[in-house]
Structure 1
Amino acid sequence: MNNKIVIMEEKEVDLKDYIRLILKRKWLIFGAFLLGVIIAGGLTFYFTLNEIKTYEANIWLEIGKIDKNILIESPEQLIEKIQEGIYGEFSYNVIVLNPTKTNLIQIKIEAIKPEEAQSVLEEISGKILAEHKERINVKKDFLRDGIIGPLDSFSNIQFTKIVKTPVISEKQTNKRPILNIIIGGLSGLFLGIFLVFLIEWWQAPRRDIY
């Protein structure tokens, strides 16, 4: 029982010593904290100021049908062709999305200049529309010649179309300045506490010598 009391008292003394040491060098800790905040804020401001702006353009296409329940081509096929560069090789980031269980395609382009983003988007969508129109015209010729299906199949044909015109917006970067400053401040705080104990450890042997 007495041993437990002694151990608890030693722990209390150690904790008081730590608190006393931190309070003794509180200005060092505060200085490190302030330095961390200033550095984090300065770097965030610098990178924000010198950031190269990027723009995003996107367009929505609805894949047409050559018959009542038959698409001109599946969304998966079209996405693969775009990604393989069938409609052009571009140095820009091209993203293609297909909402589940739909014949809709969203094409996104990221570029430094908004007019370049729109130009690439229009080029890709224009080639897709032209290709799909050509396929439909071939189907119509077959129908007229009576090679396939009755003439009333014309009513089942749907052209691929743009369902949402190109939209261009500046791409927002997720810098989170407040979070960066908080992280910088906490890093400075921990560094300050570390320095306090390091200095105390460094000076302790010298005090014993003298």
Structure 2
Amino acid sequence: MEETIDIREYFEMVRKRIWMIIGISAFFMAVSAAVSFLVLEPVYQTSTTLMVNKAKDDIDKIIDYQDVMLSQKLVNTYGEIAKSKVVMSKVAGKLNLKMSTGQLMGKVSVTPVKDTEIMRITVSDNDPALAVSIADITADVFMEEVSRIMNVENIQIIDRAEVPAGPVKPNKNMNVAIAGVLGVMLGLFITFMIEYLDNTIKTPEDVEKNLGIQVIGMIPVFEQIEK
């Protein structure tokens, strides 16, 4: 019974300040929507995939399991080469990009496809067409450099980058939804803090609860009649 009364009290706290909670949540959602739709620039993402095999001394040589495992492990090494300063500087030069190699590296990520000899070059940029160009040129320059550095010639591009249909960031709807949830949580926190700090007695129930005595009578409030 005691637990039921406590739950009812919590609901009553929320009911009394429901408009404050809704207002805080609406404010957070409005700010998030303004930032997401008007301030944050959209980020587009595209990728190119390549297959890199171990160099063969004999074209008729049968590839065994160890060769495949070696190629899979070397994909990580190839990824570091693809993001090296040598490759990035050549990519920037070919595209006449007015950015440092460090800035270009921040737009490019190279990841191996699990348990395969395939690596994926992913590029994120505010310009979808530029993202495609960076991905494709990075793949071309990488093929040249890895052949020079590691004497590997058996590299094929599986998929060329395509212009993305839409941005990957920001997720505007998700941002607004998260802001709404945070607003509700903050509103509830403020509500409970106000109730916790408020030690005034307002109702007969407050007298019985806080003072432990029974109310035997109440003095009504009469409106003053002007003479």
* Corresponding position of 2:155: 160
Listed one character per residue, the Cα deviations across residues 86-138 of structure 1 (whole Å, up to 9, x for unaligned) are 311251322111123322110011111112212221221111223456689x8
Match of 1:106, SS state, is: strand
Does 2:181 align with 1:182? yes
Give the counterpart of 1:34 among 22, 25, 29.
22
Does 2:97 align with 1:102? no
Listed one character per residue, the Cα deviations across residues 112-170 of structure 1 (whole Å, up to 9, x for unaligned) are 1112212221221111223456689x89xxxxxxxxxxxxxxxxxx7411101103322
User: Alpha carbons of 1:133 and 1:42: their partners in 2 closer, same or farther (altered >3 Å)?
Assistant: same
Letter aligned with residue 27 of structure 2: I
- C-alpha contact (below 8 Å) 1:114/1:168 kept by paired residues: yes
CA distance in structure 2 between the aligned counterparts of 1:81 and 1:65, rounded to whole angstroms? 16
With normalisation by structure 1, the TM-score equals 0.64
Letter aligned with residue 106 of structure 1: R
Does 2:69 align with 1:80? no
Q: Note the aligned Cα RMSD (angstroms).
A: 3.5
Shift of 1:77: 1.9
CA distance in structure 2 between the aligned counterparts of 1:22 and 1:99, rounded to whole angstroms? 51
User: Alpha carbons of 1:132 and 1:95: their partners in 2 closer, same or farther (altered >3 Å)?
Assistant: closer
With normalisation by structure 2, the TM-score equals 0.60
Q: How does 1:1-210 map to 2 (within 5 A)?
A: 15=5, 19=9, 23=12, 26-27=15-16, 29-49=17-37, 50-67=39-56, 68=61, 69=63, 74-88=74-88, 89-91=101-103, 92-131=106-145, 159-169=154-164, 170-174=167-171, 176=174, 177-198=176-197, 200-201=198-199, 203=200
CA distance in structure 1 between the aligned counterparts of 2:149 and 2:11, rounded to whole angstroms? 78
Segment of structure 1 superposing worse, 73-82 or 101-110: 73-82
CA distance in structure 1 between the aligned counterparts of 2:168 and 2:131, rounded to whole angstroms? 12
Letter aligned with residue 80 of structure 2: E
- C-alpha contact (below 8 Å) 1:132/1:160 kept by paired residues: no
Q: Provide the aligned length of Structure 1 versus Structure 2.
A: 170
Structure 1 runs (4+) deviating above 3 angstroms are 21-27, 68-71, 131-136, 172-175
Unaligned runs of 5+ in 1: 1-7, 140-157, 205-210
User: Alpha carbons of 1:164 and 1:22: their partners in 2 closer, same or farther (altered >3 Å)?
Assistant: closer
User: Alpha carbons of 1:132 and 1:64: their partners in 2 closer, same or farther (altered >3 Å)?
Assistant: farther
User: Alpha carbons of 1:22 and 1:102: their partners in 2 closer, same or farther (altered >3 Å)?
Assistant: closer
Match of 2:86, SS state, is: coil
Unaligned runs of 5+ in 2: 89-100, 202-227
Match of 1:52, SS state, is: coil
Whose strand fraction is larger, Structure 1's or Structure 2's? 1
- C-alpha contact (below 8 Å) 1:22/1:193 kept by paired residues: no
Match of 1:166, SS state, is: coil
Segment of structure 1 superposing worse, 174-183 or 114-123: 174-183
Letter aligned with residue 170 of structure 2: T
User: Alpha carbons of 1:101 and 1:192: their partners in 2 closer, same or farther (altered >3 Å)?
Assistant: closer
CA distance in structure 1 between the aligned counterparts of 2:112 and 2:14, rounded to whole angstroms? 60
Listed one character per residue, the Cα deviations across residues 173-195 of structure 1 (whole Å, up to 9, x for unaligned) are 34523343133123212312322
User: Alpha carbons of 1:90 and 1:126: their partners in 2 closer, same or farther (altered >3 Å)?
Assistant: farther
User: Alpha carbons of 1:38 and 1:128: their partners in 2 closer, same or farther (altered >3 Å)?
Assistant: same
